[in-house]
């Protein structure tokens, strides 16, 4: 049996009629740029995330960039963030003209370790950018406390965490701004790129709204040097349909995670991810730590099983950041995670048989005497 890491077709099949209707509606109107569906969807995401405002943008990466720009982050500024995330987290800081300052992660959650932040704060620090990695919120209370103590702003990278909760608050509603991605593999995925910035502050909402259309409050009059970064009407119309199903899908991901937690518990060789009990974990990924990880990955591949390494290299060791001067050993936990992590199929439509097969393949690897090389 082959089990894919993610099968978008299955999610689509259940709602195909509704989606086609939504697309037809946009085609009929021909209002492709900031059509009414964008505003409606912004209101829906704001309400879903527990914020007053939300502004649709072209991608999750741009959501981060526009959020930082709206806060006035730019050249000469430093932004403290995690060393273990998708590249766009750090790339957006650089694109804003600022310098990313990396901290190591908490090995239990793969999220930025709040205890390591204060030592990195300088007079140039403007913001802290925590990531809610794999669908579980970073430990936000100590981060928000530090930010308020040092007069810093907080931008949440909630690209993998729409609907995730922390002590009763939703991802994207705790910092000054929250950033979401609708890349197809996220829990709420569009049919292409898309993103959203959430906030309670009206001034910030206005700024992000201006930045996404070239920095102009009125057409051809530019108060800021902005971008072409709007959420397409077509994507908004599609995402409006999908948002209605998101809670059900998140629940299924949690059920799959619960199954794996139990079924993999006794296998010596893998460590299941820890749910910190902060609130709802939406499992964008189910990420194990595995002994002989690269061999296990090859074993998965040989068995026709989907898996992926998120992420094989910490941000501090990326070629493009060599100029920052970080070295191997600077981020021991992130570096160890990069060697040990492997994400397995967790998507909502995964069948019982498929889940069992994934577990069987892992069990065979560690207990069946398989692949006893080296
Ligand atoms: C996906 C992702 C992004 C970027 O989102 P895009 O929509 O692909 O630009 C940023 N940060 C994290 C943590 C992500 O997973």
pLDDT in tens, 196-221: 999 999 999 999 999 999 999 888 99
* pLDDT at residue 334 greater than cutoff 60: yes
Residues 122-131 pLDDT 10s: 999 999 999 9
pLDDT number for residue 62: 98
* Residue 297: pLDDT over 80: yes
State which fold the 246-367 domain adopts.
3.90.1150
CATH architecture of the domain covering 8-243: 3-Layer(aba) Sandwich (3.40)
pLDDT at 370: 58
Q: pLDDT value at position 219?
A: 87
pLDDT band at 186 (very low <50, low <70, confident <90, very high): very high
Exposure class string for 208-242: b at 16+ Cβ within 10 A, else e: bbbbbbebeeeeeeeeeebbebbbbbbbbbbbbbb
Peptide bond into 311 cis (omega under 30): yes
**88 Cα to the center of ligand 1, angstroms:** 6
pLDDT at 168 over 90: yes
Question: Within 13 Å, how many C-alpha atoms sit on residue 34's CB side?
Answer: 9
Q: What is the dihedral of CA 135, 138, 139, 140, to 10 degrees?
A: -110
Q: Which of 225, 182, 233 is nearest to 207 (CA)?
A: 225
Across the range 158-165, mean pLDDT stands at: 98
**Residues near ligand 1 with C-beta < 6 Å?**
59-61, 85-86, 88-89, 131, 157, 159-160, 181, 183, 193, 195
State yes or no: pLDDT of 372 exceeds 60. Answer: no
Q: Which atom of ligand 1 is nearest to the CA of 160?
A: 15
Q: Which two tokens stand for residue 269?
A: 């060789």
Q: Where in the chain is the domain with CATH 3.90.1150.10?
A: 246-367
- CATH 3.40.640.10 residue window(s) in the chain: 8-243
At 20-53, the pLDDT tens digits run 999 999 999 999 999 999 999 999 999 999 999 9
CA of 316 from ligand 1 middle (Å) equals 18
Indicate the pTM of the whole model. Answer: 0.97
Specify the pLDDT at position 368. 84
Band the pLDDT of 374: cuts 50, 70, 90. Answer: very low
Give the Å distance between the CA of 193 and the centre of ligand 1: 10
% of the chain surpassing 90 pLDDT: 97
Atom of ligand 1 at shortest range from CA of 132: 13
Averaged pLDDT of the chain: 97
Joined together, the tokens standing for residue 111 give 């999220």
Amino acid 373: pLDDT: 46
In the predicted model, is pLDDT for residue 107 greater than 70? yes
């Amino acid at each position: 049996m082959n089990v894919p890491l993610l099968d978008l077709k299955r999610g689509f099949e259940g709602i195909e009629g509704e989606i086609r209707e939504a697309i037809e509606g946009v085609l009929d109107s021909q209002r492709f740029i900031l059509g009414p569906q964008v505003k409606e969807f912004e209101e829906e995401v704001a309400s879903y995330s527990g914020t007053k405002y939300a502004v649709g943008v072209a991608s999750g990466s741009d959501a981060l960039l526009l959020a930082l720009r709206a806060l006035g982050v730019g050249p000469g500024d430093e932004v403290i963030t995690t060393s273990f995330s998708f590249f766009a987290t750090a790339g957006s800081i650089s694109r804003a003209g600022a310098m990313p300052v990396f901290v190591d992660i908490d090995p239990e959650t793969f999220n930025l370790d709040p205890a390591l932040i204060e030592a990195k704060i300088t007079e140039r620090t403007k913001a802290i950018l925590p990531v809610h990695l794999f669908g579980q919120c970073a430990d936000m209370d100590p981060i928000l406390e530090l930010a308020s103590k040092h007069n810093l702003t907080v931008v949440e990278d909630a690209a993998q965490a729409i609907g995730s909760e922390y002590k009763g608050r939703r991802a994207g509603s705790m910092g000054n701004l929250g950033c979401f991605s609708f890349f197809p593999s996220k829990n709420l995925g569009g049919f292409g790129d898309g993103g959203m910035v959430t906030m309670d502050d009206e001034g910030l909402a206005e700024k992000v709204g201006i930045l996404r259309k070239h920095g102009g409050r009125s057409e051809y009059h530019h108060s800021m040097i902005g971008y072409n970064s709007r959420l397409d009407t077509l994507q908004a119309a599609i995402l409006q349909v999908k948002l209605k199903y998101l809670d059900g899908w998140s629940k299924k991901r949690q059920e799959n995670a619960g199954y794996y937690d139990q079924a993999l518990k006794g296998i010596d060789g893998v460590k299941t991810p820890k749910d910190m009990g902060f609130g709802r974990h939406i499992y964008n990924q189910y990420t194990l730590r595995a002994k002989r990880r690269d061999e296990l990955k090859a074993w998965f591949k040989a068995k026709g099983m989907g898996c992926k390494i998120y992420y094989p290299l910490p941000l501090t060791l990326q070629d493009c950041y060599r100029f920052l001067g970080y070295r191997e050993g600077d981020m021991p936990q992130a570096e160890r995670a990069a060697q040990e992590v492997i994400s397995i199929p967790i998507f909502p439509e995964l069948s019982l048989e498929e889940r069992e097969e994934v577990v069987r393949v892992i069990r065979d690897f560690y207990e069946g005497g398989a692949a006893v090389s080296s």
